[in-house]
Amino acid sequence: MAKLIQTPSQTVGPYFAYGLTSEQYGYDFKSLFGPVLAEPQADGEHIRLIGRVFDGDGVPINDAMLEIRQPDSRGRFVASRAEAVASGFCGFGRCGTGTRPSRHYWFDTVKPGPAAPGEAPCIDVIVTMRGTLLHAFTRIYFDDEGDANARDPVLATVPAERRATLVAQRQVEPGGVSYLFDLRMQGPKETVFFDL
């Protein structure tokens, strides 16, 4: 039979917050996903991932939404809702950039383990916003995993001069460990986006 046509993507628009990120933005509607991936009891090194999304003029975007997906601290992807409830780690988060004056997104999670031998630890990202007709995929690697990053088969496909756009910067502060990861939609340091 003839194949059906993949439904075209359309922009998420400026007004997604009460539908997709309701609790973060203070709307009276339960959220299925939010900025917290790991409850305190989850195994692993607890980290905060934080950053901004910049447009082609270098202005931080206040109506972008990020979704992240990652394995747990041992490199295992969460297989079921029951498993997530039991471990305190759900593996998927969602955060908009419109609730902080500085336009930061953030996620409270654990540092992932490598998902397979020979791969560097990383977090998969979907970013979308008003002004993108189709979401974009990228990946977050960690700057304290230099040896693993050097061997990672996906990073190896990225031109060396652009790899830094995929690497988060570790910061140790009194409140805990955070990783800074900014996205640049355009410009000389445009983030590497993937076709997958």
Segment 1-60, which members bind other proteins (CB under 8 A)?
1, 3-20, 22, 25, 27-30, 32-33, 55-57
Q: Which is nearer to other proteins, 100 or 170 (by Cβ)?
A: 100
Q: Cα 41 to chain center, whole Å?
A: 22
- Among the listed residues 91, 109, 110, 181, the single contact to other proteins using CB under 8 A: 91
Does residue 169 touch other proteins according to CB under 8 A? no
DSSP state of 60: B
Burial 163-189 (b: 16+ CB within 10 A, else e): bebbbbeeeeeeeeebbebbbbbeeee
Q: Which is nearer to other proteins, 91 or 178 (by Cβ)?
A: 91
Q: Which is nearer to other proteins, 33 or 180 (by Cβ)?
A: 33
Residue whose tokens read 């498993």: 83
What is the Cα–Cα distance from 167 to 146, expressed in whole angstroms?
10
What is the Cα–Cα distance from 25 to 144, expressed in whole angstroms?
33
Does residue 96 touch other proteins according to CB under 8 A? no
Does residue 87 touch other proteins according to CB under 8 A? no
Site for other proteins in 65-84 (CB under 8 A): 67, 69, 77-81, 83-84
Q: How far is the CB of 127 from other proteins (least distance, A)?
A: 10
Does residue 120 touch other proteins according to CB under 8 A? no
Does residue 118 touch other proteins according to CB under 8 A? no
Does residue 160 touch other proteins according to CB under 8 A? no
DSSP state of 78: P
Does residue 177 touch other proteins according to CB under 8 A? no
Q: Which is nearer to other proteins, 57 or 173 (by Cβ)?
A: 57
DSSP 110-160: EPPPPSSTTPPP-EEEEEEETT-SS-EEEEEEETT-HHHHHH-TTGGGS-G
